[in-house]
Amino acid sequence: MGYVPNNLPREIKNVFNSIRKELSRKLYLKLEPNKEDCPNCLTSATGDSLDKFDSSFVTPVEIFGNIISPSSFSRGRCPVCYGKGYLEQENIVCIRGLVLWNPIGEDSRGDLQRTPVGIEGYNIVQVKADKCYYESLRDCVGAVIDGVDCELQVPPTLRNVGPVEITAVAYFITTDVGHTVR
Ligand SMILES: [Zn+2]
């Protein structure tokens, strides 16, 4: 009696971790896209395409996993970058977090005071995630949460959950106006 197996704390932790994993959802954070200068056209000092073929480009290069071959053009936009002067690759990270839609009143720390008024049809969503995602949450330029496009409304803050665990908490707002989330 009164015997506590050595591994009990660890087992309790595992149970909590698995519950948390069940409750948490995958969400997608869009970070600044990766950019590479277009090898196929000449660009201005500010990086804009000059709509002129770069004749020094003779050997195909690999950019973002695609082989880019020289593609000469004499009029119109560069066929490689479509006149942008750079190639872009989406930079999306998938994280797991606890998602709570329209949490007003749930959390009394005043985080939502900065929420703009008169935004009927928008939804606020609270995301709680491991602190290792803090920077991704802070730097993201958008997110897809439960299939809905969102943008960061209140940057993440780190909060204690219990004595040791620290969670990043951020708020997003839907950019898809009128999209109602149950
Ligand atoms: Zn180009």
Question: How far does the centroid of ligand 1 lie from the alpha carbon of residue 30, in Å?
Answer: 24
Ligand 1 centroid, distance to 74 Cα (angstroms): 12
Q: Are 87 and 35 in contact (CB under 8 A)?
A: yes
Q: Which of 68, 58, 60 is nearest to 88 (CA)?
A: 68
Distance 33 CA to ligand 1 centre (A): 17
Backbone angles phi, psi at 21, to 5 degrees: -65, -40
Distance, CA 76 to ligand 1 centroid (Å)? 11
Token couple for 73: 């053009």
**The pLDDT of residue 23:** 81
The domain segmentation of the chain, as residue ranges, is 19-32+91-174, 39-84
CA distance 29 to 156: 13
Cα radius of gyration (the chain): 23
Taking CA 76 as the corner, what is the angle to CA 73 and CA 82, rounded to the nearest 5 degrees?
85
* Contacts of 64-67 spanning 24+ positions with Cβ under 8 A: 64/34, 64/36, 64/89
CA of 143 to the centre of ligand 1 (A): 29
Q: Which of 91-95, 124-128, 174-178 has the lowest mean pLDDT?
A: 174-178
pLDDT, tens digit, 9 for 90 and up, residues 35-53: 999 999 999 999 899 999 9
For residue 93, report the distance from its CA to the centre of ligand 1, in Å.
27
Asked if 37 and 68 touch (Cβ cutoff 8 Å), the reply is: no
Per residue in 129-163, pLDDT (tens digit) is: 999 999 999 999 999 999 899 999 999 999 887 77
| 55-110 pLDDT tens trace | 999 999 999 999 999 999 999 999 999 999 999 999 999 999 999 888 765 444 44
**Residue for token pair 């004499």:** 74
Running DSSP on this structure, what letter comes out for residue 135?
H
For CA atoms 121, 122, 128, 129, give the dihedral sign. positive
CA of 88 to the centre of ligand 1 (A): 11
Residue 47 alpha carbon to ligand 1 centre in Å: 10
Ligand 1 centroid to Cα of residue 45, in Å, is 14
